[in-house]
Each structure stands twice: as C-alpha cells, then as structure tokens.
A = this chain, B = another copy of it.
Amino acid sequence: MYNFRTDLALERRDIYKKVNKLQEIDGVESTEEDINENIKVTRVKIANENGEKALGKAIGNYVTIDVKKLKIAGEDEIQKTSEVLTSELQKMIDLHTDKQGEILIVGLGNIYVTPDALGPKVINEIDVTRHVIKYLPQYVEEGTRPVSAISPGVLGTTGIETVEILKGIVDNIKPKLLIVIDALASRSIDRISSTIQISDTGIVPGAGVGNTRQEISQNSLGVPVVAIGIPTVVELATLVSDGIDIFIDRLQEKAESNEYLNKLQQNDKYEEVKEALNVGDYNMIVTPKEIDDLIENMKDIVARGINFAV
C-alpha cells in the first residue's frame, strides 16, 4: 500500500488520484457542499473493497468540514462551525443508534503536549448525564440520553494500550456507541486546526505519524465508533519530502530537471529525508506558532458540536 502519511480520507483520495493519474476511483464516492464562504463540507464514502484497498481506509463514511481563517475566528464563526458539526454528527450517530442510546465520549491524547491536548480538553467541556440519570433522575427530563466521557491518556504515560482501557470500560458500562476525539496528522499545513473529519469506521491512534497503536473500532470494542479527527500537526519529514516533489515539479515545468530527478520524484523519500534531517531522538512537528490559541478555538467548536448532537 502507498504510504499516505495522512489520516484524512480526503487527502488520501487526492493523493491516490494524483499518483495514479485518475479522475475517479472505483468504490470511492464524494460530494461537496459550501455552507458559507468560509465553511465547506466534503462527504467521502468508501463503498466497496476496491475503495478500501485504494485508500487504505475501511468501508464507511468520512465527512470533512473545512473552516477558513479559524485563527481569527470570532464567537459567531465558532458558533456556526459547531452547528455544522452538530448536524453532520447527528446524521452519523443516527445511522448507528437511536435517540436514547447511551454514548461514551473518548478524548484521546496527552493534556501535557499542546498539539495533542485537544481530546482531553474537549472531555472537560462535555455535559455528561449518565450519573445524573442514575443517581438523581428527578433532575433530568424523561428520555434524556445517557452520556459519559473519559480521557484515557496515551500509551507513553499509562503503559496500557488505549484499546485495553476502553475495552474494560465498554464491557462494564455497555454504551451503544462511542465518539472518539483525536488530534490527527495531515499532509497539508493549511489544514492544521481548520479541518474536522467525522467518520464511522473507528480510529487507529498515531496512524498518521508512523506510531501505530491498536485500532479503536467496532472490531475491537464490539460497538460502533464514530471518530472526530482534527489535524494539529504535519510531520516534518513528510513536509520536506513533499516539498522536494513540488520543487522537482517546478524544475520540470521550467524544463530544468534531469533524468535522475525525474526518477527520484517517483520514489518514496520519506525515510531518507528523515535520516538526513538528523532529528535524533525527537519527533519533529510543524505547527503554527499560534497552536495554543487554535486548539482553544477548536476545543470550543468540538465540545459545543458534540453537546448539541448528543
């Protein structure tokens, strides 16, 4: 399989089409909708095994919400985006459970690492109801959906695979559906903290940054898993090898390339570039200097989007 190094189905579709010089991919259907001048929704459906194999993503639905200028977004734009998220999320949830079906919301990531802190920060804002329904039923309307929320930490600080933690909790409290929030890697700088992907096929934590953990999905947990993913970083070696390709593209346009470069462009330079960058023990990431603020804005959007959807 091609090494896409992005978690976004949308980007994988575009890369696959470009690499294979295709207009269409069998088993991959897409539609686009402009909500307003700043917000666009793209719905990608992987419909069969060919699509699954092509994009390396499971059969299912992938909805992407792109927001322009989130950095300078005011209260209004944040509210509007959260409403779009609510609407898309509701449709996805309704495909898999009914209006009273208990939901467990899971915030992946590490609260102490800024670009990875989105999941835990959203969990802190979720309006949980499960314990109120259980202990103080007189305080909630009949028919309120039980909602619980957890932030299980990351393997590096817990020593436990996230899916092991979740398996135990799911077996114990038996929710009907999981919503999992995770920071993703993308290949494109301008998607950082301005894109939200919703999918109903679960999640493989760290898949985008070559640090694969066991998948969190209906397969491993026995209940449907809706994933909300937000790109917060681009891996440096990915960015630089993409940059070299763009650079050779330009040389070719100007007819200044040569045979060696043309061949080079067709290979995967990722490992070589990673070595050349000499990053040692570090996992170098590319992120806007304003990432702390962007994460705060995105936290508000996702928390509100979920609270209204559930």
A interface, CB within 8 angstroms of B: 69, 71-72, 111-116, 123-124, 126, 128-132, 146-153, 155-161, 164-165, 167-173, 189-190, 192, 233, 236, 239-240, 243-244, 246-247, 250-251, 254, 256, 258, 260-261, 273, 276-293
Task: Sort A-B residue pairs by CB-CB distance and give the 7 closest, nearest first.
Answer: A168-B168, A128-B159, A130-B159, A148-B159, A282-B288, A256-B260, A168-B172
For the complex, what is the distance from the CA of A169 to the CA of B254, rounded to whole Å? 56
Q: Are A158 and B167 in contact (CB under 8 A)?
A: no
Q: Are A282 and B277 in contact (CB under 8 A)?
A: no
Q: Are A158 and B128 in contact (CB under 8 A)?
A: yes
Q: Which residues of B contact A258 (CB under 8 A)?
A: 256, 258
The residue from B124, B281, B285, B290 contacting A286, defined by CB atoms under 8 A apart: B285
28 sampled A-B residue pairs with Cβ under 8 A: A113-B290, A115-B289, A116-B289, A131-B156, A146-B159, A147-B159, A148-B158, A149-B158, A150-B158, A160-B173, A168-B168, A168-B169, A168-B170, A168-B171, A168-B173, A169-B169, A190-B278, A192-B282, A233-B289, A239-B240, A243-B273, A243-B276, A243-B277, A244-B244, A247-B247, A283-B288, A284-B287, A285-B286
Q: Which residues of B contact A157 (CB under 8 A)?
A: 123-124, 126, 128, 149
The residue from B152, B189, B256 contacting A282, defined by CB atoms under 8 A apart: B189
Supposing A130-B159, A171-B168 touch, asked if A280 and B148 sit within 8 A by C-beta, the answer is no
Q: Which residues of B contact A261 (CB under 8 A)?
A: 251, 256
Residue of A150, A168, A258, A285 with most partner-chain B CB within 10 A: A168
For the complex, what is the distance from the CA of A146 to the CA of B189, rounded to whole Å? 34
For the complex, what is the distance from the CA of A288 to the CA of B146, rounded to whole Å? 28
For the complex, what is the distance from the CA of A71 to the CA of B130, rounded to whole Å? 21
For the complex, what is the distance from the CA of A167 to the CA of B285, rounded to whole Å? 37
The residue from B160, B281, B287 contacting A148, defined by CB atoms under 8 A apart: B160
For the complex, what is the distance from the CA of A173 to the CA of B192, rounded to whole Å? 36
Q: Which residues of B contact A149 (CB under 8 A)?
A: 153, 157-159
Supposing A282-B289, A287-B284, A287-B287 touch, asked if A169 and B159 sit within 8 A by C-beta, the answer is no
| Distance in Å: Cβ of A243 to nearest Cβ of chain B | 5
Q: Are B160 and A131 in contact (CB under 8 A)?
A: yes
- Return the chain B residue nearest A211 by Cβ: B289
- Return the chain B residue nearest A273 by Cβ: B243
| Distance in Å: Cβ of A230 to nearest Cβ of chain B | 16
Q: Which residues of B contact A156 (CB under 8 A)?
A: 128, 131
Q: Are A190 and B287 in contact (CB under 8 A)?
A: no
Supposing A147-B159, A240-B240 touch, asked if A189 and B260 sit within 8 A by C-beta, the answer is no
Q: Are B152 and A150 in contact (CB under 8 A)?
A: yes
Supposing A165-B169, A171-B168 touch, asked if A114 and B159 sit within 8 A by C-beta, the answer is no
